[in-house]
Amino acid sequence: MSFTLPDLPYAYDSLQPFMSAETLEFHHDKHHKAYVDKGNELAGDGTKYAGMSIEDICKKAYSDSDQAVVNQIGQHYNHIHFWQWMKGGGGGTRVPGKLEPLVDAYGGLDKVRSDFIAAGMGQFGSGWCWLAIRDGKLEVAKTPNGENPLMHGAQPILGCDVWEHSYYIDYRNARPKYLEAFFDSLVNWDYVESRLDC
């Protein structure tokens, strides 16, 4: 398959003041596009990955230790969903119905929040923090660089990009403030819930 850059599902200025139009212009138009372009070279038509789903490419590249494809296609997958995992007026203190029992079994939304932020803080250097489903249960995880939970046997349902390109314009080095704003004010919980069925 060939990979394409999806449009943002909202206007560039719709996540302000928590994420600026300038951040989204660079992050989506430059960074994500570069992963798409490089991904097409490494894993597009004419490669051993031709015809595979992006999820299967993530898993195969990781199990084959194909680091270049892990990075580029992993990042393409992560960013496709990252844009959807946010919305203007997101966050809040309630989650949709199908997520509720999973969050409750984990120990409640406050615990999910603090563990998610701690995972993002604890990822040294570039990477992601996650909510994922493993064996029917919610877990919090972190991964380096372009990796994601698919490569580690779990289903990602929420991810936050903690590469500096995601927050440095708006928050400089204050990664915790960015993570708090993401969780409290940006998360599109309906999209998170929709990932349970994938």
* Closer Cβ to Mn ion, 161 or 170, answer by number: 161
- Minimum CB distance to Mn ion, residue 79 (Å): 6
Indicate the burial class of 142 (C-beta count within 10 angstroms; 0-12, 13-18, 19 or more). buried
Confirm or reject binding of residue 147 to Mn ion (CB under 5 A).
Answer: no
- Minimum CB distance to Mn ion, residue 165 (Å): 5
Q: Which of 80, 91, 161, 186 lies at the binding interface for Mn ion (CB under 5 A)?
A: 161
**In this chain, which residue has its C-beta nearest to Mn ion?**
161
Number of residues lying near Mn ion (CB under 5 A)? 2
* Closer Cβ to Mn ion, 82 or 99, answer by number: 82
* Closer Cβ to Mn ion, 163 or 183, answer by number: 163
* Closer Cβ to Mn ion, 99 or 119, answer by number: 119
Residues at the interface with Mn ion (CB under 5 A): 161, 163
